[in-house]
Amino acid sequence: MGHRFILTGGGTGGHVTPAIALGEELRAREPDAQFLYVGTRTGKEAEIVPRYGFPITYVKSHQWSFRRKWHVVRFVWRVACGTIKSCYLIMKFRPDAVIGTGGYVAAPVVFANLLLRRTGLSRALTIIHEQNTVPGKLNALVGKVADLVLLSFPTASAHFPRAVCVGYPVRPEIGPADRAEAKRRLGIPPGRRVVLAFGGSMGARTINRAVVDALPFLRGRKDLHIVHGTGRKLSSYDPVADCESRMQRNALTYESLSGWYEAHEFIDRIGEYYAAADIVVCRSGAGTLAELCACGRAALLIPKANLPGDHQVLNALEMARRGAADILFEDAVTTNGAPEEYVAGKELARKIVELLENKPKLGRMESNALASARPEALKVSVCVILSLLEGKSPDGLLSELTAREPVVGDAHLDTRFGRVAALSGEALRAYAETVVSSICRSLDCVSGTPSDREEALVRALNADEMVAYLRYRAATHLTSNNWRMRNAGVKMVGILRQRDKLPVLAGFVKDRTPASRVRRIFGGDFETNGFIRRNSMASLIRLGVASPLMREVILYGLEDPYFEVRSQAARAVQAFRASLENDQEIVERLLNCAKDKYFEVAVEAVKAMGSVASAETALEVFRSLSQHENWRVRQAVVEACCALLDRGQDVPKAFLSEILAGMMVTSTGFCPSFSLKLAVAKLGERIREPDSTADDRGKL
């Protein structure tokens, strides 16, 4: 009698298809084997699994989310209910193995089997398949106690004590096929170049919008045929309605695109469409990439941002390093005052045309993709599972199988990217600071004005591969729902000199959307909190772009309810003094800030007035503040007077003598002076000066 298997995994199609592939291969090897698929009613498994003839039953589960306390309660309650029912199913079905392929759907079943194993009520092995370079939350947790973890990428082995790399199990119907024959079967006119674009079974908002936005730039090409898989409606996103709205925005209709553009909610015959495609535009989940390699198709990858361990980006980078794909990263833009992920349709169209017109490159990408395929992955996976059920060690069998058929291993992605992908928030911000500091040190020999050195730094940053990745991560942080993550992204934008993000930062400073009632009770004011507004202003100063928008942002900042934002806005006036000198609206708001109850605001406002105000306007304010109780304000008055003199303003000496005579100059603010340290610093400055000519050497 054959073995009995429980298959579980789902929520999205990417977790269902490997379970189906394993089940079909096991059924082919053992025709009398018995199967039970356990999933949820709301996941894609409810739709996909019955088509393959596997019996399916349902349990409760929920996505892992700790954004709100009630999310935690709902997660624990549903997983607990699902685990109890899964215990009943396992004891009733008596499986020999529970095979999980990830996703929140698998959690109750895997937890139940581990619990029953501990109590002796189940003998079923727990086998996990991990599809990505960085494991998901469930697999990372249960993989440490599972009997075996099957990996798609060897780089994931560091996360599990018992793991073997077998590759991704691709369904048998997906593989190399004749392109012309596939086009004929699908009714695509001969001679057309096919672009297949999709974002998975549930659709991808970014890809859907980018594809529709790209259509006006592609419609003039008579040799194109675009197949667009939009995805099916969810409670949180309706891809069909979104695409129709985008069509209207671009003044397009399906009738006007008839004959060269077709949209489908779900692409059932995906194998045939892969075969017909010249370019595939898609996400970079492990399953999709394995299918692309199995078919040998060139890809333009748009990795999904803000996923655990940034695994889609790492997957895409692996493919790009093999020469099998190009990457188009998601960006952050401000829409209706809120940041969101975005890919420009014009840029997508440009990349598509660029690839289609470079046939040698397309050919190399297809060859490299096919060379990266692991056609034996499904067979090896099943052999390992069966060998484990027979009590054998899988390691020897795995070595024997892979020795018979050479396997192209994964490209050796720079280990820095793997480490950085695991960072987020302030840890990622600190790493970005370190990278930029290192580049700054390498530019110490650059001579010229501070502006020249800043431009040299920007050029160096633009040419650095790690900086490009960090800029992408900064952009994804800007769209995070977690304010701390967004705050770190704001800081990184300034550190990395991402000048294209100026409108996003400006939107944060100008946001006046009222916070929720609960947040207002605890001191909140606007949806974008004061910390983010303050740090946005600081990053805008670092970006150094003087513009009408920057002036508008400063005006908002000088009247912000949070005092640290007002202080940073006054610093921005000093930074952009050349374009703001004698700007009356700016000066009037600085006058108000100079009288602020917070000395931090008054200090920066006084300094700013020294930079941009006329002496006539500033001196009366300085007179009153010269006796301020806080010594920092008094010092700011002195520095501002010096700034007025440096600008050539007419400052009466009698006035200066008056305020100096009446000013208390002792204070708690003092700095010890170390003569040796000053001498060393002075010598260091001389060393960094450009070399003298031979004739000048030795002269003082």
Model pLDDT for residues 550-578, shown as the tens digit of each residue? 999 999 999 999 999 999 999 999 999 99
Write down the residue that tokens 């996003």 correspond to: 504
Percent of all residues in the chain with a pLDDT value above 70, rounded to a whole number: 91
List the structure tokens of 204: 């991808």
More confident site: 185 or 668: 185
Q: What does residue 169 show for φ and ψ, rounded to 5 degrees?
A: -75, 105
Per the model's pLDDT, the better-predicted residue between 143 and 359 turns out to be: 359
Rounded to 10 degrees, the C-alpha dihedral 154/159/163/166 comes to -30
Structure confidence by residue, pLDDT tens digits, 52-79: 999 999 999 877 655 556 667 888 888 8
| Per-residue pLDDT tens over the stretch 131-144 | 877 777 778 888 88
DSSP 589-612: HHHHHHT-SSHHHHHHHHHHHHHH
Q: Give the chain's end-to-end CA distance (angstroms, integer).
A: 98
Question: In sequence order, what DSSP letters do the residues of 241-271 get, joined into one string?
Answer: HHHHHHHHHTT--TTTTTTTEEEESS-S-HH
| Domain 179-371 -> CATH class | alpha beta
Residue 514 has pLDDT above 70, yes or no: yes
Higher pLDDT, 23 or 439: 23
**What CATH number labels 4-168+377-404?**
3.40.50.2000
| Beta-carbon contacts of residue 568 (< 8 Å; ≥ 6 apart) | 534, 537, 538, 541, 557, 604
* DSSP of 613-645: S-HHHHHHHHHHHTT-SSHHHHHHHHHHHHHHH
Rounded distance, CA 10 to CA 654, Å? Answer: 81
Higher pLDDT: 450 or 191? It is 191
The side-by-side arrangement of strands in the sheet containing 163-165 is 56-58, 34-39, 4-8, 97-100, 125-130, 148-151, 163-165
Q: For residue 464, what pLDDT is reported?
A: 81
d(CA 262, CA 186): 12
pLDDT at 574 (0 to 100): 95
| Per-domain residue ranges of the chain | 4-168+377-404, 179-371
Helix (H) or strand (E) run with residue 464 in it: none
At 691 the pLDDT is: 56
| Local structure of 1: helix, strand or coil | coil
- Report the range of poorest mean pLDDT among 48-52, 130-134, 256-260, 287-291: 130-134
Of 5-14, 243-252, 396-405, minimum mean pLDDT range: 396-405
Least confident of 27-31, 433-437, 581-585: 433-437
Q: Which DSSP category does 192 fall into?
A: P
pLDDT of 697 above 80: no
Give per-residue pLDDT as tens, 290-344.
Answer: 899 999 999 999 998 777 667 788 888 888 888 999 999 888 776 766 678 889 9
Mean pLDDT value of segment 3-27 = 90
Average pLDDT over residues 211-228: 92
What is the C-alpha to C-alpha distance for residues 563 and 572, in angstroms, rounded to an integer? 14
- Give yes or no for residue 411 having a pLDDT over 50: no
Report the pLDDT value the prediction gives residue 403, as an integer from 0 to 100.
44
pLDDT of residue 696: 46
Q: Which helix (H) or strand (E) holds 535?
A: helix 530-543
pLDDT value of position 694: 43
CA distance 601 to 471: 31
CA dist., res. 325 & res. 280, Å (int): 9
Q: Is the pLDDT of residue 669 over 80?
A: no
> What is the per-residue pLDDT for 266?
84
> What is the per-residue pLDDT for 455?
84
The mean pLDDT value of the chain amounts to 86
pLDDT over 80 (residue 190): yes
**Res. 237 pLDDT band, cuts 50 70 90:** confident
452 vs 526, which has greater pLDDT? 526
Q: Quick one: tokens of 315?
A: 């997957």
User: How do strand 193-198 and strand 224-229 relate by DSSP bridges?
Assistant: parallel
State both tokens at 663: 């000013």
Q: Is 137 in contact with 159 (CB distance < 8 Å)?
A: no
pTM above 0.75, yes or no: no
